[in-house]
Structure 1
Amino acid sequence: MSSIDHYENFPVASWLCPAHLRGAVQALYHFARTADDLVDEGDTPTHHRLDALEEYRADLQSCLHQTGTPSLRWPHVFNPLQRVLEQFQLPTQPLLDLLDAFEQDVVYTSIGQTYKNRAELLDYCRRSANPVGRLMLHLFGVHDATAHAQSDAICTALQLINFWQDRSQDLLNDRDYLPQDHTLEQELRFARTLMLQGAPLVHRVKGRAGWELRAVVQGGLRILDKLDARTPSADHRQLTRPTLKKTDYACILWRCIRM
């Protein structure tokens, strides 16, 4: 994901991430990135991708339960992950939710399944996007229900924004995330509402990471500005992903300061 692409919301190797957390963030990022690569459409048959994901899930279970069975295929992922799980006592359900969402994406794409309503899409986002925020909050020692709800709102909004900015490419790949009971314009407004609901979280994450979170929020809102400016009747298959220019980054910086 660029600034809001899939799993690039992890501040990997960023100078804004506190030094003592960089190893943990990188381990979580590589876990999600590797799983995402396994199920990436490519030319690999669906059943091979699902088999690989099941093998990956088995290695995760071994890691979580400390069975002593090392990963033969992905030691570079699960050896660091196990150390991070032990060091920070991370919750494990978010990791399982991510793999569940990856599997759903493969299955839905293979059979041309679409989302009947927004509730179905949000359930997918609950497992595909929200775990990232929950894990990051745990690393930063923020555990209350309000923060979790705000984090979920930001992560879901980012996931939705990513869908809508890449809609033309998704349609070419026979993927359609737009709920059948809503228009794209309705979903853009909903994503903005979610992002604004989650925005107060930036004041709970201290230091440089808090500024990175401000940039994530304002970057997402700026992309929405650009998507909103497009003609509602435009052919979604012809639209290109909006790009951020110097003036946009200046706007994002100003909005971050004002927060």
Structure 2
Amino acid sequence: MTSASELRSGKTHRDENFPVASWIIHPRHRALILAFYNFVRTADDIADHATLDAQEKLRLLDLLEAELLGKGDSQKEAVKLRDALAERAMPPRHALDVLIAFRMDVTKLRYENWDEVIHYCRYSAMPVGRFMLDVHGESTSTWAASDALCAGLQINNHLQDCARDYRDLNRVYLPRDALAAAGATVEMLGAAKSAPPLLQCLHGLAVRTETLLDESRTLGARVRDFRLGLEIAVIQAFADRIVNLLKRRDPLGERVHLNPLELAVHSIGGIAREMTRRAAGRRPVSRPAAGA
């Protein structure tokens, strides 16, 4: 039997565009968060695998789900997450939701409109934020703002990697109606730089993503856990900077990812703003400071 671990891409939590179980988070939560991350990363790598056929991908995703639910012990990522959740008496609901998104990645290569993209984010991204909130014992009243932040992060990633997703996976998350409205085509994603209609579409989607990020700004003020609040502030700072790049640059031909120095600078800035806000007891503003 194939082990899902053998199909990992080699990407780890240190390679993501956002912090995963960073030093900010209390040590008592890190093992559970990393178990969740490794389960999700394994499933993601299966869905994106270059040589597996669709049937085999779906079989392996089903196997991960079955073993997460206690039906077998052959897949270490599923067993480790299952045990870590049991220690906290937490259900596997969020991990199961994410598996729905990875099955979609196997079977769905195009999205008709923004609502379909948000539906995908409901399973690919929003469960991750909800899981983090549950780990910290936060109220479900925080979910709406978290959902907006996670969807914004996911769509930022779709825009950053739109050319690679098309080239390597023939997968396009850009809504067909947005492409058509700008006079762009999917095939334009294969070029070295964006044609003007495609760039118009990409910039318009970045503006729409910025609206999602604006809807998430109350999240830090809603969470009780101080460390989690700082982590959210860092993630928000990263997301804001990336969406600002995506509004101005061409992801086909220009850099739209943050380098290590930028990650460090925006981490410090996010932490400083959140600590100042908490000390003063202020609610977050609707938009970040210029250049955030």
Corresponding residue for residue 144 of structure 1: 140
Instruction: Map residues 167-178 of structure 1 onto 2, 5 A cutoff.
Output: 167-173=162-168, 174-178=170-174
Corresponding residue for residue 107 of structure 1: 107
- Report the more deviating stretch, 247-256 or 81-90: 247-256
d(CA) in 1 for partners of 2:79, 2:99: 18
Q: Gaps spanning 5+ residues in structure 1: where?
A: 64-68
Corresponding residue for residue 66 of structure 1: none
CA contact (8 A) 2:40 2:98 kept: yes
Corresponding residue for residue 159 of structure 1: 154
1:22 to 2, 13, 30: 30
Query: Are the structure 2 counterparts of residues 58 and 123 from structure 1 closer, same or farther at C-alpha, using a change threshold of 3 Å?
Result: same
CA contact (8 A) 1:222 1:248 kept: no
d(CA) in 2 for partners of 1:41, 1:223: 26
Instruction: Map residues 188-199 of structure 1 onto 2, 5 A cutoff.
Output: 188-199=206-217
Instruction: Give the length in aligned residue pairs.
Output: 240
Query: Which digits, 9 at most, give the CA deviation of each residue in 1:138-188, with x for residues without a partner?
Result: 01111232x100110111110000011111212212221111222322221
Q: Gaps spanning 5+ residues in structure 2: where?
A: 1-10, 179-200, 275-292
Instruction: Map residues 51-200 of structure 1 onto 2, 5 A cutoff.
Output: 51-61=59-69, 63=70, 69-72=71-74, 74=75, 76-108=76-108, 113-145=109-141, 147-173=142-168, 174-182=170-178, 183-200=201-218
d(CA) in 2 for partners of 1:252, 1:27: 24
Query: Which digits, 9 at most, give the CA deviation of each residue in 1:173-226, with x for residues without a partner?
Result: 222111122232222112111112112212325233321211111111101111
Q: TM-score, normalised by structure 2?
A: 0.74
| CA-based RMSD | 2.5
- The amino acid that maps onto 1:152 is D
Query: Are the structure 2 counterparts of residues 60 and 117 from structure 1 closer, same or farther at C-alpha, using a change threshold of 3 Å?
Result: same
Q: Percent identity?
A: 29
Corresponding residue for residue 49 of structure 1: 57
Query: Are the structure 2 counterparts of residues 2 and 226 from structure 1 closer, same or farther at C-alpha, using a change threshold of 3 Å?
Result: farther
Corresponding residue for residue 11 of structure 1: 20
- The amino acid that maps onto 2:219 is L
Secondary structure at 1:44's aligned position in 2?
A: coil
The reply on whether 1:253 has 2:263 as its aligned counterpart is no
The reply on whether 1:217 has 2:212 as its aligned counterpart is no
Secondary structure at 2:147's aligned position in 1?
A: helix
Q: CA deviation at 1:10?
A: 6.2
CA contact (8 A) 1:168 1:239 kept: no
Query: Are the structure 2 counterparts of residues 190 and 3 from structure 1 closer, same or farther at C-alpha, using a change threshold of 3 Å?
Result: farther
Corresponding residue for residue 219 of structure 2: 201
The reply on whether 1:39 has 2:34 as its aligned counterpart is no
Q: CA deviation at 1:257?
A: 2.3
CA contact (8 A) 2:68 2:79 kept: no
Query: Which digits, 9 at most, give the CA deviation of each residue in 1:198-255, with x for residues without a partner?
Result: 122123252333212111111111011111122xxx5x64445433363674355335
1 or 2 for the larger relative contact order (CA 8 Å, sep ≥6)? Answer: 1
d(CA) in 2 for partners of 1:47, 1:248: 39
Query: Are the structure 2 counterparts of residues 168 and 116 from structure 1 closer, same or farther at C-alpha, using a change threshold of 3 Å?
Result: same
- Report the more deviating stretch, 113-122 or 240-249: 240-249
Query: Which digits, 9 at most, give the CA deviation of each residue in 1:49-92, with x for residues without a partner?
Result: 1222222222223x2xxxxx4322x1x22332222222323243
Query: Are the structure 2 counterparts of residues 18 and 34 from structure 1 closer, same or farther at C-alpha, using a change threshold of 3 Å?
Result: same
CA contact (8 A) 1:154 1:198 kept: yes
Q: CA deviation at 1:5?
A: 7.3
